[in-house]
Structure 1
């Protein structure tokens, strides 16, 4: 047994080094606080009991001198009880702290000269032997709790399992501290030995609650696997990992865009395979006239962008009026490069001629020569201008925006009405991007935000004249199109109006999923209760050290009891503690009892234990003959324990009790570590699911219906259930975290990048075309 225990202890040591070092000072302080609080709360009652024992003259006959001293010391303690209370609490806490400090790893120091060894005085040895005998009843009574602390404190400190003599919370430490406090309190040396006979379990406070609190604090530091706290921490860590992955992707895209725009005159071209439908003249072929240093469209004269660029005055072009000044390739004869300001002015005039959406979803033009609104303006713009007349930066901006609008146009999940609305924004968005390159880097840029909102609302199948959100979309697009001179302000106002409309609609839509949410909350609560109950039982059985009848009972019946207790804990606080304590008492009752005190304690506890067991079993309605059979076998087990012969010395009895309890504690902690290691093995699908946030969109591949986009409408508090909706106020369905993760593994579910359609299109553009013929200074995808 010793070899197995050392091997297990070593495993505990290795697994505990990392956990124990995370915040050891804080944990040690919390343990000291537990001891301090317990002594402060119970020492006054102990002091009162000591006073009564000292003044009691009805006990065994004692000498007159001794009786006089007891009365004298008793009255002193009675009149100065608070002073002794302060001394006792201070001494106990200081003693425990010294023990903890002695266990903490200390740096090895060189010794200049050999240290002389000295013998321990005989008086001190006698004193220690006396307190060994005084503390033995406490050691036996709390053998299980002390053994568990031996393992857990060793785990915390990164050491092997502690011996009983190393446990900083062992009864002897507390008893010696009380004796030291009494010696300091009692000035008369003749009264120093009066308190030793009174340091016994019947008079001192109960150590069990303190040991239970210490063990619980150590257990919570490691977070018991399977507990609600462990589940929350695990999912929080996974969500952080998912957010970090998204942030990393966003940072990588930002670096690629910076390289793209910083590539100088050799910026790579984006191969945007955009269908040109219908291939008819677009707004650029509308009539125009030259006016002063600029130009303005008109319905009377013809207009060719190439001619407008060639005839543009020098002030409207790039510095110097030549391509060489911009570092670009030589321009064709007679063609000058169009500056960003000149291009912006040209686009402003085109925007004034753009058709606008109407309430019925069709477009109108501001005059004759209007063209259909489903024409892609941006590629036509680039093709209509002489080659080389645009700077590399402006040309790249047009290419990237062409890819963005292509992504929207090809998304069949967005209704045609909304795709048409988005197409109206091509010229205004291009102007915004030319004026402020932050459009490509900032998700919150008003123009970019507008496109993302329209696309996402499109996935919700927003259309129809009666839909308030669709009406807000139309108002926003109309405001942006008509207010050609306000630029970013028009986008900001439109976004604010649309977001307000969306928020109001989401508030109204919450009632639609109220019933599914209520069902999901109930389901999660039941599942969590069952999980916690199963874990609590499994941590106590399974190593063959529990009586078979009790092990089967706990697995088959008490798991149900604990599930009920966890379920009603919010309404009836203390239910879980009661059911767990009853389970632990039952396990204790069937362990060997090697002392008269242990057997006496068993006989005293049995009536209350059996009554509590029966009450809980009534709750789960276990009323068949198997229940009677269980209690009959349990009674026989208890009888055999009480009848077993006592032929061991007190020292050997204590040793056996500690060994059994310590082996049980090691086994339990090893199971906790194994469960924790299993839970930590979260694959990419689990991390993805734990990182989902309300409002995100996913694609589900359905055998018969193809790809279906759904919105995450609600996430349960413990993130074990997810409710999705197909769109605005449409039917909702729920999935468990396990089912959703499996769908992600199987490729049946995919998270649509929550950064928006703009970021997705930009990433695709950088990956697909930005690396082709990239300049030396550009970052290849």
Structure 2
């Protein structure tokens, strides 16, 4: 937007300089200090209440996380964090409120924040002006805080804009923006970050406290802003201020019938933050490409025309409402069970313009009807958005069909509020992105009770039946859908945790079995042992070593003692060549018996089996010592092997080769496929297409630090598959598995639309490219 448009828009709202002169600079007005003090008092009262609620919930949150911690070290971090937060809570609350009070004092004194360049801001996240590199933990905090601030400012933009303008007036006319506002999300988050420096806790604990600050403080600022605006209005400060982008009724406040593109763009201009978003390259490019298509190629003229009186907003929206009712009735009549009707096509989406023209002509009783160029561009842009949805591989077909039925509500929303395309925080845009993100994880197998499919359908039906001209319906549906997802996600997270723990347990067991087998086989070293001794070592004692590894670890005293038994046991059945060796064996036998009894009891041998085994060993050793028994008799007895059949022999060359095989890479470590797999992050969704009839969608849940295997779960948290790196890379290369896009639907669609428009204008007869097929 150019500066002329900005000045024009602001003058329509209020002449701030004139108003500030009438209030703040009037020497007779002694209430300015009182007004600022009143705002400060209301603010500190609200904030102390909100901070109290937050800290009341910190204990419960950290305790719940400690109970679910993956290991003792993490659990200790959470418990230490609980203790430190309890201890430092009064100090943090006092420090936070003091900084907010100080911000009001600076505002009254005409001081302004340096927009993120102060040393205080850097200290809040552990930074230093002299350092060019940022510690990873500090970066995590900084990113979390930036995200919190951005989301809060977007959600509160209207009421925050009004507070900023009124504070500007009572502070003498010097502009107050989001960064200068003592109770703006930026100042609150920055002050809380500095107050949090009192906590000496792990970064994961700090991030959880920040998240709770967002939930209990930033998400509940609307009542505070409303009270402040009401207080200042009552005091006569900008009582007629109109907030940019506020809801308009199409019947009582229609837009002018003749609107050029500059005027249309003013609808989405808003405050300074909105201006910066509108100037993004993507939106400018879209506007330019649409205008060029319409003016240069005459695109759409046969359908909509380009001359004569254009439709009023009420007429356009009225015609859309009639069509919306028809879609709503057809959606209600859709079958509720899978498979649902999936015959809706991109052609059906494109036909909306023709249907709209016929409907408008019918309502007006005229042969032809026209819309403005800007409205025609909006109609075409929404049409392309929903064509993209119907071709988007990220969405299962059933979800494509449901979401495509939202074309008319979204067209109405775009006509009412052009910020839909420019603002990532627009409620209609956020709702569509949330629906698409949830739909990405859907499959018939993972949603057998059809809870997710039913909820998406419910949102679609509600928008079709309830949306007239109140954009807030998107916010309400977004809140309800998020609550639904929160409940589903909590259940899924528990199941996902159990799946990861089960896989981790199996891998630890496999690793322990492999280590036990390696140690025993290396000590046998190819010797021909009596069958009895070989059976004890490869079955009972191997299982004992496995349990010892799992319970105590390979550096433990218990494991070393277990290996020493193997050495002594193997030696004890070898040939006795001297009196010294015979004496050593006599001394060793009681120790061997004691260790063996302990090991057998550990692996749950029955007492009767233990005694039988000891009798046979006694016969064997009598033969070793040549004490009247024949060696042949001892050898025959030893072959009885009283080892339970259920106890698998795990220390054998065959089982060792099997366990080692899974760890051997079968692909080149620097191949493109492997590099692509290594770059994937936990949380990435994929589609397994081996079964083309019923492809399964799954999330990368966990990567084993032991075997490097990739664990995949469905949206309910249930295990779908685990794959080695080379298996996964091979499936990606062959197309059996497809990685789904992570970028939000709206962003992906706008990128694809820009590319489509560019391609169609460079080669007018070319077919528009399909989105990520």
Give your verdict on TM over 0.5.
no
Q: TM-score range by the shorter chain?
A: 0.3 to 0.5
Give the TM-score normalised by the residue count of structure 1.
0.37
